[in-house]
Structure formats: structure tokens, C-alpha cells
Amino acid sequence: TFIGSLESTDYDTFMRELSINLGGVFNLCRSAVPELKKQKDSTIVTVGSDLGVRPIPERIGYCPSKAGVIMLTKCIALEYAPYIRANAILPGLVRTPMIEQRFTEAEDPAALEESYASLYPLHKMGKIEDMANAIAFLSSEESGFITGEIMHVCGGSLI
């Protein structure tokens, strides 16, 4: 994630973030679709972000790139129904190795963790398992009548 505003971010940096966050999902889905079309009940679950629908300052590239993932997912769902279902999850902050490194490097790790948790009504950060469970559900037969939807897995940040 690049940090910057409209005025402090140059075009190349903006396009790099779009290329990574949106272009990467596009390329992966484009490569997978020919094989997925050969199978019955195929699914795609993309990973966006709550910041794709709720902007914050200094994320002039990140927020639009994640909004693009949402619309790309909806376009794929429409274009490939009924052969492939496509849905997205929108995580909030998740305890990934990158986030854990922020805690390690912080002057006051407990204060940083508290500040992150306080962003969410559930007053905690997501776990990788939370995201995996949502993806597993959206990939299962239990969600067989769901396509083109966005599942908010973000601790209530979008309430």
C-alpha cells in the first residue's frame, strides 16, 4: 500500500498500485476462467477491502484499486453466470505478517494494536482464518445461489 494524496502521488505510483491490486486480480481471473468453465459449479472469490467502499485519507491509489476489484468481481459474475459464480470479500485490517511486523517495529505495540482494534465496532482485528472461512463459504455449495455479492468481513467497519 502506497501512502499519499492526490497532490503527493505521481501518476506512475498511482498506476502501479492499480496494476498490483486490480491488475493482479484481473490477470489471475483471466487465466483461471478457461479451466473453471470446464467444471461444474466453479467459483471465484476475490479479495477487496473495506477501503474499496469507505475511503480514508492518504490512500489515493489503494481505495480506488480495491473499488475496482469489487466492480471487476460483479462484471465477472454477470459475464460468466451460470457457469461460474463470482463473489468478493472485503476485509478490514487482518493480522497478516505485514501487520505483525508493524507491531514488532512500533515504539508501543500494545498502543498500536489498540488503535487498530478501535477502528471496528467488534473492537478487534480480523484473523487470516476469518477470511479463509468466508472464502470457503462463498466457494461451497451452501452459497450456491449467491453470485456477484460482496461479503463484508471487516469487524463492522461498514455499519
Residues with a catalytic annotation lie at 62
Q: Which pairs count as long-range contacts for 5-13, CB under 8 Å and 24+ apart, including other chains?
A: 5/57, 5/58, 5/60, 6/60, 9/60, 9/61, 13/61
Give the angle 27-56-60 at the CA atoms, nearest 5°: 50
The amino acid that residue 10 corresponds to is: D
